[in-house]
Amino acid sequence: MITIVGLGPGDPDGLPVAALGAIRDAAVLLAPRLPAALTEALGRAPDPLGELDDVPDGATIVAPDLAAHRLARRLPGAVTVPERPVLRSRAIGAATGVLAEVGAHLRRECPWDREQTAATIVPHTIEEAFEVAEAVAAGDAERQADEVGDLLFQAVFLAQLLEEDAGDDLADIADGHARKLISRHPHVYGEAVADTAGGVRDLWERQKREGRGGGIFHELPAGLPALAYATKAQRRAASVGFEFTATGAALQKLAEEVGELEQDPGENELGDVLFATVAVARGLKVDPELALRAAAQRFRSRVEAAARLAEASGARFEDLDPAAQIEFYERAKTGG
């Protein structure tokens, strides 16, 4: 059995006592390249770690927490010191700490970063959030990881700005949010009961409403994008029992609103149709923002495919009449 030992964040001052114990008893000790000061603190020099397939059974591999966590993921049968969940948490903490250090360094050394305020950063934060949504809708895991990283740094940088204004730092913010999540999940950490996702959402809304003393639509941000605003408003109403309890009822309401739009085309009736569509999305447990974004991407792909089909037939798509464009569009939909 191979043992993987986490050495803390990578500096001698953070070396865990349990790691020293595991190293002392190791018959074969291996490690990737370590800082000289850390190697000296170990009390013995590990042999270089080569290919993982060549690591002998019974060997002990030591590495800073982040590298040890990555090694443990590649060797799922290995024993870890500390146990895997703790090692994972320590690795996340170490990597997030490095990211926070980068943010603080950029704030000191980069002319652009020095000029930023929370107000100037927030537009970039919103943009990054939408790029995450786009990557999710596209099902692109590699891009999603990259975009989540961009969004994570936005949060880290905003925390840096808050700290400079004599507010809480990133550690305080993360700790406070963890405590808030625990308090909002009494069905997980306490005695409350919520057996469904809908029941959990209702529990959240009741907690927030009672805790902040607001009305049904307490703290509903007016600046939310329209789909998010509509979804949140319906969720707040649902927390007091006011909602369509079945998807069929929501679809029937949507059909009624479409009929009213046909009789009286205009902004109000169109808004009612869109709002009823959000209710259908909630009934289907679908995020309407992601669903609409995916539909828009499908539309774009099909129009581009239709333009290519037209070009292949010797015509410019933009020069065709609407009927011909739709014909190419329908062919693109069916792959023809």
What contacts 276, CB < 8 A, 6 or more positions away? 250, 253, 254, 256, 257
Banded pLDDT at 330 (limits 50, 70, 90): very high
The residues, ordered by sequence, that sit 6+ positions from 81 with a Cβ below 8 Å of its Cβ are 3, 4, 5, 6, 18, 19, 22
Any idea what DSSP says for residue 32? S
Q: Residue range 110-117: average pLDDT?
A: 95
Residue 74 has pLDDT above 90, yes or no: yes
So what's the pLDDT on residue 224?
83
What CATH number does the domain located at 116-183 have? 1.10.287.1080
Q: What is the pLDDT of residues 149-183, one digit of tens each?
A: 999 999 999 999 999 987 889 999 999 999 988 98
Q: Where exactly are the structural domains of the chain? A: 3-90, 116-183, 288-333
121 pLDDT more than 60: yes
Cα 135 to Cα 32, 113, 143, 225, distances in angstroms? 34, 26, 6, 19
> Which of 91-95, 117-121, 191-195, 241-245 is the least confident region?
191-195
